[in-house]
């Protein structure tokens, strides 16, 4: 569990699945279809609860972001394994109604510190070029573009960023 001035970051629980489903329902239509609610309404809350139960990642893992004052879960932040098995990836997502308050930056800074303490040397993060708020969070946390980009005419260009954990 991590604590910041305004947030508590704790391991995701099955009971967080309803918030995760809400996040899925709010996603921009440019997000790939496999990461949005499909025509059959999947993933369901039950589907996401099973995913939470089965999820294991590098420490500190993927954490629920709670507002300390209210205990309300407003999203997630943490690190997840990458497809290539190399450096873990910083991932974060907040409900739209809680964006613009600095929570993502606050949570990401706490996760970066925990990743450093866990012995990770580098984190990566990928983000679409149209996602200005996430790009700003990554910049504030210290991530820098690697020069690698993956253009997609339907979804926009994915920008790869990285943070050397010895930098801070």
List the domain boundaries for the chain.
2-167
pTM to 2 decimal places: 0.92
Q: What is the pLDDT of residue 167?
A: 53
The pLDDT assigned to 102 comes to: 96
CB 12 within 8 A of CB 48: no
**pLDDT tens, position by position, 59-89:** 788 899 999 999 999 999 999 988 787 899 9
- Mapped onto helix, strand or coil, the DSSP state of residue 151 is coil
* Averages of pLDDT over each 10 residues, the chain, 168 residues: 96 94 93 91 93 77 94 96 87 96 97 94 94 96 93 88 80
What does each C-alpha distance from 18 to 15, 24, 32, 41, 42 come to in angstroms? 7, 10, 21, 13, 13
Name the CA dihedral angle for 164, 166, 81, 43, rounded to a multiple of 10 degrees. -80
Both tokens of 107, joined, read 């949570």
The correct CATH number of 2-167 out of 3.60.20.10, 3.40.630.30, 3.40.50.300, 3.30.365.10 is 3.40.630.30
């Amino acid at each position: 569990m991590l604590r910041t001035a305004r947030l508590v970051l704790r391991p995701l629980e099955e009971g967080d699945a309803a918030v995760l489903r809400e996040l899925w329902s709010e996603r921009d239509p440019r997000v790939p279809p496999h990461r949005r609610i499909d025509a059959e309404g999947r993933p369901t809350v039950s589907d996401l609860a099973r995913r939470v139960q089965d999820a294991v990642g590098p420490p500190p893992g993927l954490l629920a972001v709670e507002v300390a004052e209210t205990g309300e879960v407003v999203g997630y932040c943490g690190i997840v394994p990458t497809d290539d098995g190399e450096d873990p990836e910083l991932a974060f997502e907040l409900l739209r109604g809680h964006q613009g308050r600095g929570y993502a930056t606050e949570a990401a800074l706490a996760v970066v510190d925990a990743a450093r303490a866990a012995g990770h040397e580098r984190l990566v993060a990928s983000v679409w070029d149209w996602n200005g708020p996430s790009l700003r969070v990554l910049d504030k946390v210290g991530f820098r573009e690697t020069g690698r980009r993956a253009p997609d005419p339907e979804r926009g260009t994915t920008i790869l960023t990285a943070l050397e954990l010895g930098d801070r």
